[in-house]
Every structure is written in structure tokens, then in C-alpha cells.
A = this chain, B = another copy of it.
Amino acid sequence: MAVELKNLTKRSENYSQWYNELVVKADLAEQSAVRGCMVIKPYGYAIWEKMQHELDRMFKETGHQNAYFPLLIPKSFFGREAEHVKGFAKECAVVTHYRLREAEGGGIEVDPDAKLEEELIVRPTSETIIWNTYKNWIKSYRDLPILCNQWANVMRWEMRTRLFLRTAEFLWQEGHTAHATEAEAVAEAQRMLGVYADFAENYMAVPVIKGVKSETERFAGAKDTYTIEAMMQDGKALQSGTSHFLGQNFAKSFDVQFIDQNNQLQYVWATSWGVSTRLMGALIMTHSDDNGLVLPPKLAPIQVVIVPIYKGDDQLKQIDAKVEGIVAKLRGMGISVKYDNADNKRPGFKFADYEVKGVPVRLVMGGRDLENNTIEVMRRDTLEKETRSCDGIEEYVQHLLDEIQQNVYQKALSYRNGRITSVDTYDEFKQKIEEGGFIMAHWDGTPETEAQIKEETKATIRCVPFDTYVEGDKEPGKCMVTGKPSKCRVLFARAY
């Protein structure tokens, strides 16, 4: 097993294989017996739970409440919103029957008599069923806004799947809000994008570019899609969260109107926003290295692991006694600590295991340390080791965790910022895109040119960034492909 851990493919050799192996070796997830569906293992799920916990707190602090809507959606609901149907009524899991029976000659089979009158779709997203419900909740402006979120599983029958990044079933949250005015709905969609960016940068330590999607890349049924885009270590973009201003599209499709303060009937304005277990992929690919996972301390299920190295039970008992005090003090500071004195695994195995699992800080105490009142400290992000006095070690570790959190963010930020370039010609674009990274370039704003670029270079427009990333990127210019006028540079990249 320890040997297996060491056999991780190097990122420089095959980035894609490195990722696939790491997810499995770090015990995060694995393929299940069901095509495209994953099993999220306890260690992976513990990271997801930490993400959920922080996001849920942020949603509640911004006034949202959780609710739960049905897993299955009547097929006809998808047809109601003209754009939505094109985007989502495609590769879906379809429930057609509601009973099994014993087959003649053994085994079980679907009972042909138990066919549903209308097929039910396992939700790929819940706008339709939720707006069909909101119709009953909203009568007057007094009922608005509605600020709901749902933590749920969803399914999209993807043909090519990869653990966390693209799976047939995934876990996510989907916020669905209803407002009396357009301005309020737009503000909500932007506020939630801000929450996502805050979470990505301050908890995941993943720097993101906030912006708005082109029409082509918009959510099916949205007026505008806002996005946060992160850069992975292979220079590819990963869309990490989206927030949609839906206008009155779903209100009109599901006939959701309210009486405003002037006693006039109006259609309701909507938003929806979501992040998913895909964030696990972003987290892994942003920070990890050839030795395994690197986790930002704020999302690490185990922040500190302590391993004893000892000869004989007597020495172990002495180390146990010494470590007990350190563990208690660290826990009192709200730090999650594991003391691994299990005797069925050698220290070398433990070291490799916690390294591949990305535990931010490792403390090791041996016989010599016991004599000297010292302890060895290793930080996972830089792999630096030092031996320190046990006195004040808890405060030092607390400080170190903060430093690691900052360091992994700064490292990711430097990496990304060093790979945003600006190009003016399509030839240069074609050359640069092969090197990976983000490219800021002028585009004429048409779906046709966008499609041509995608076809010829596999690059897509990730967003029109809100902030400035290269000098003058908000100034007008000429499309690199057609030479037509362009309002500003937009962000291109190859993407997951």
C-alpha cells in the first residue's frame, strides 16, 4: 500500500492521469457499478461536508432558507420554457415504470402493466418543478422575495465522465429566488456570485475570475449567467460556480404573477445559482502536487496529524502522555487533530498516507524528542521540516495553519496571474492557446465567431471579466478573427 502511494504519476508526465490516480489514492472517490456514477468515500465526503458547512452558513447569513423539492419532474415541465428545453431535455435518466415483478424462470423484471402515464425525469436541475411550486406560494408583493436553497443530488447522463469533474449523478446546491423587481433579481444573482468567489478564494484558496458568460455559454433559460472561473495547474479553466439572472422567463412559463403595491399584476423575476461536487475537482487540481493532495487548512478534515516513533511500549506510553497535552490544547483552539499511535502500521506508511491525503501539518515525536522536549513539524504545502521546542508548539501550529492557508492561495494566484496573456492576432492566439493559460483577446460579439474559434482551437469564451486582468482590457478594439469592432477583451481558455 505504501508503495502504491508512491507510484503517483507526475503532473508533468500526464496531468490527466495524475488527477485520476490521486482521487483514488487519496481515498476521495471511486467509480461505482453504475455507469458514470461515483462513490464519494468518507475522506472525500468529509471535505465536501466542510464545503457545505461554510457555504450553508454564508447562504443563511445572506437571508436564504433551505427547502426540498421532488427528485422526479414530469416530462412535460421541461417543454414549458423554450430555451430550457433545448439545454436540459436531452441526456436525462427517465423513469417509465413503477413496479418490478418476479420473472418466469427466476430473476426480476419490469412489470409492463406498471407503466407511468407520463414519464418522470430525474432532475438535471430544478427550475421547472420549483417555479411550478412557487406559483402557489406567490400572490402578492408581500410574499416576495422568496430566497430558497436546496442541497440535492442531480443527474445528467454524461457520456464521458471523470470523478468529481463530470459525473452522471452529482451533489450540489441550487438556490432559487423570486423577486418583485428586475433590479432586485440582478442584485441577488450578483450577490451570490460574490458569495461563491468569497468562498472559493477564502476557504478553497482558489483564485477566481468573476464575469458574465457569452450568450452561447449562458444557462438554458437565463437572461445572463455570471460565473467564477479558476485556472488548473495544466492551464485549463474550470468553471467553478454560476449564478443566473433568469428574467421573467420561468415566471411566464409557469404563470407566476403577483399583485404589486399599485394593485397591478406582474410577472415575478427570478435567479438561480449553484455549485457542486465539481468544486472538489477544482480544489484538488489547484493545489495538489506529485506527492499527493495539498489541502487548504480551512477545508482539511484533519488539520494536524501527530505520529509517534518509538521503541517498545514504555516509550510509546511516555510519548502518549506528552502528546495528550498537545492534542487537548490544539482541540481547545478549534483545530482538528488526529493522534495516530496505531501499532499495526509503520511510521513510513503513515507518513506516505497523510502526505497523499494532504494533511496540512504533521508532527512527529520520537525518543530523542522526548528527551529534548522537542517535536518535528512538517508543513505539507512546502514539505519543509523543522524541529521545535514543545513549549508554545500549539500557538506555532495555529499560526502555521494560517500561513499555509495564505501560502497555497498566493501560490495559486501567482501561477494564474503569470498565465494570463493578451493577444491581438488570431495566429498568435492559436499559438498561445497550445501553451495553456488564459488569453484576453478582442472578439466581435457574435456566436458565429465564437463557434469558429472553438472549432479551430478548442478554446471557449470563459467570460467577460468584471475586473481588469491585462492593461487596457476594458478598452474597445478589433476582433482578432474578423476585425470587426469589439467593446472589450474577453477571457478565452480551453476548459474542463
Contacts and interface: CB of A to CB of B under 8 A. Distances in A.
Interface of A: 30, 32-34, 37-42, 45-46, 49, 65-79, 85, 89-100, 107-108, 110, 119-122, 129, 132-133, 136, 142, 148, 152-153, 155, 157, 169, 171, 344
B66 A42 contact: yes
A300 to B, nearest CB: 15
B107 A79 contact: yes
A121 B93 CA distance: 11
When all copies of this chain in the complex are counted, the total is 2
A132 B30 CA distance: 13
A110 B96 contact: yes
B67 A45 contact: yes
Contacts of A45: 65-68
Contacts of A92: 98-100
Contact of A98 (B42, B71, B75, B93): B93
A89 B108 contact: yes
Contacts of A32: 69-70, 129, 133
Interface centre among A65, A68, A78, A122 (most CB of B within 10 A): A68
B75 A108 contact: yes
B68 A171 contact: yes
A183 to B, nearest CB: 21
Contacts of A96: 94-97, 110
Contacts of A136: 30
Contacts of A75: 100, 108, 110
A95 B72 contact: no
A95 B94 contact: yes
B100 A33 contact: no
Interface centre among A45, A66, A72 (most CB of B within 10 A): A72
Given A46-B66, A75-B108, 13 more contacts: A39-B70, A40-B67, A41-B67, A71-B122, A71-B153, A75-B110, A91-B99, A92-B99, A94-B110, A95-B95, A96-B110, A99-B157, A110-B119
B90 A100 contact: yes
B169 A70 contact: yes
Given A89-B100, A90-B100, A119-B110, A46 B34 contact: no
21 contacts: A32-B70, A33-B77, A33-B129, A33-B132, A34-B70, A34-B74, A37-B72, A38-B70, A39-B67, A40-B68, A41-B67, A45-B66, A45-B67, A71-B155, A76-B107, A89-B108, A93-B98, A94-B98, A94-B99, A96-B96, A100-B121
Contacts of A40: 67-68
A70 B40 CA distance: 9
A100 to B, nearest CB: 5
Contacts of A79: 107-108
Contacts of A110: 75, 94, 96, 119
A76 B110 CA distance: 11
* Pairs of residues from A and B, 5 with the lowest C-beta to C-beta distance, nearest first: A42-B65, A37-B70, A40-B68, A94-B97, A98-B157
A337 B41 CA distance: 38
A122 B68 CA distance: 18
Nearest to A140: B344
Contacts of A99: 90-92, 94, 157
A301 to B, nearest CB: 9
Contacts of A76: 107
A428 B65 CA distance: 51
Nearest to A169: B71
Interface centre among A40, A73, A108 (most CB of B within 10 A): A108
Nearest to A155: B71
Nearest to A154: B71
B91 A93 contact: no
Contacts of A30: 133, 136
Nearest to A75: B108
Given A89-B108, A100-B89, A67 B38 contact: no
Contacts of A42: 65-67, 148
A346 B49 CA distance: 41
A94 B98 CA distance: 6
A434 to B, nearest CB: 35
Interface centre among A66, A79, A94, A132 (most CB of B within 10 A): A94
Interface centre among A40, A77, A85, A100 (most CB of B within 10 A): A100
